[in-house]
Amino acid sequence: MFLYDYEIQEQIGKGGFATVFRAKNYKKNQDVAVKVINWQLMKERKFEEKVLQEIEIHSKLCHPNVIKLLDHFSYSDNIYLVLELCENDTVKRYLEENGRLSEREARDLLEQIVHGLLYLQSQNIVHRDIKPDNLLLTKDMQVVATRSSHGLEADCWALGCILYALLVGSPPFDSGSAKNTVTQVVMKNPKIPSHISRSASELIQNLLQKDPTRRMKLNDVLRHPFMCSQTRGRSNSSSSANKKFSAHEAKDSGMGSNSFSRDNSPLITYNYHRSR
């Protein structure tokens, strides 16, 4: 199917209000993702103003760790968003397939997520749902975030959950049911495995403070000793994970190390909300 400058190809994702397709801008020979939003359904749910606001916000954003909105248009009762293509799926899927990361790898990834969130903060924007399955990896292993926090404190809590998941391979609160998970979040502190260093454990605990007023601020994360460490940390990822990173080194950073460089960072995606 051809639509304006785009050849719409196979479906790569689907949600309640939208379907995502792989596509190609044949004029630029550029692979992209096209998100097709059912506009009639948006109007029925009275979400049209929210969608238009998000498009306006997203079109003005420009940062290596924030997914790019390349184009947008309407056709036949649908809204089409042309987005940067993320070919390596989500961080969650990456962890499922390759196991937990080393502290060096986790630190490199977290640093880039923080830079993306700080950029959004500078634009008076908070993200709404930072978690491994809403962080996408591009072909060059860049991270981008996908969904929509209730404020900066929620983004910091989410960072603690992400760091834990990167180093452990599973989320800090996961009981198998939504009700029990909520109970764990409210009543319990996550168990930190012994293989995690003291500085990493301290950062996780600072970010997962249940009292938002005592929770570490986003600006302070990059100054934490764990983030400032020049060592590789313990190689706590599996050999298969290391092999997987090695396979991507040429695409990652062009350097002979298992790390996420600035050019292969996570990308932060959709949705954003103006902070008040």
Q: DSSP 3-state assignment of 82?
A: strand
For residue 1, how many C-alpha atoms fall within 13 Å in the half-sphere facing its CB? 9
pLDDT at 242: 36
Out of 196, 223, 250, a domain closes at 223
Out of 32, 62, 84, a domain closes at 84
CB atoms within 10 A of CB 240: 11
- 52 in any annotated domain: yes
Do 80 and 182 share a domain, yes or no? no
What is the tally of structural domains in the chain? 2
Arithmetic mean of pLDDT, 45-69: 88
The active-site residue, picked from 5, 71, 129, 174, is 129
Could you give the percent of the chain with pLDDT greater than 70? 70
Q: At 191, is the pLDDT very low, low, confident or very high (cuts 50, 70, 90)?
A: confident
- 131 marked among binding-site residues: no
More confident residue, 265 or 136: 136
Do 36 and 123 share a domain, yes or no? no
Arithmetic mean of pLDDT, 239-244: 34
- 258 in any annotated domain: no
| pTM of the predicted structure, to 2 decimals | 0.75
pLDDT at 6: 95
Return d(Cα 10, Cα 26) in angstroms, integer: 15
Return d(Cα 175, Cα 7) in angstroms, integer: 43
3-state helix, strand, coil in the chain (%, to 5): 40, 20, 40
- The pLDDT tens digits of the residues spanning 70-90 come to 999 999 889 999 998 887 778
Q: Determine whether 263 is an active site residue.
A: no
Out of 184, 206, 223, a domain closes at 223
Q: Are 43 and 245 in contact (CB under 8 A)?
A: no
Q: Which residues pair with 193 in a beta bridge?
A: none
pLDDT at 11: 93
Q: Are 152 and 275 in contact (CB under 8 A)?
A: yes
Give the domain extent around 188: 89-223
- The pLDDT tens digits of the residues spanning 117-176 come to 899 888 887 765 677 777 877 665 556 655 443 456 678 888 999 999 999 998 887 756
- 25 in any annotated domain: yes
Domain containing residue 215: CATH number: 1.10.510.10
More confident residue, 215 or 90: 215
- 270 in any annotated domain: no
Do 55 and 151 share a domain, yes or no? no
> Is 106 buried (19+), middle (13-18) or exposed (0-12) by CB count in 10 A?
buried
CB atoms within 10 A of CB 8: 15
Reference 165, options 245, 260, 90, 227; nearest CA is 90
Could you tell me the CA-to-CA distances from 236 to 36, 110, 239, 264 in Å, in that order? 40, 16, 9, 21
Do 79 and 191 share a domain, yes or no? no
Do 52 and 117 share a domain, yes or no? no
> Is 49 buried (19+), middle (13-18) or exposed (0-12) by CB count in 10 A?
exposed
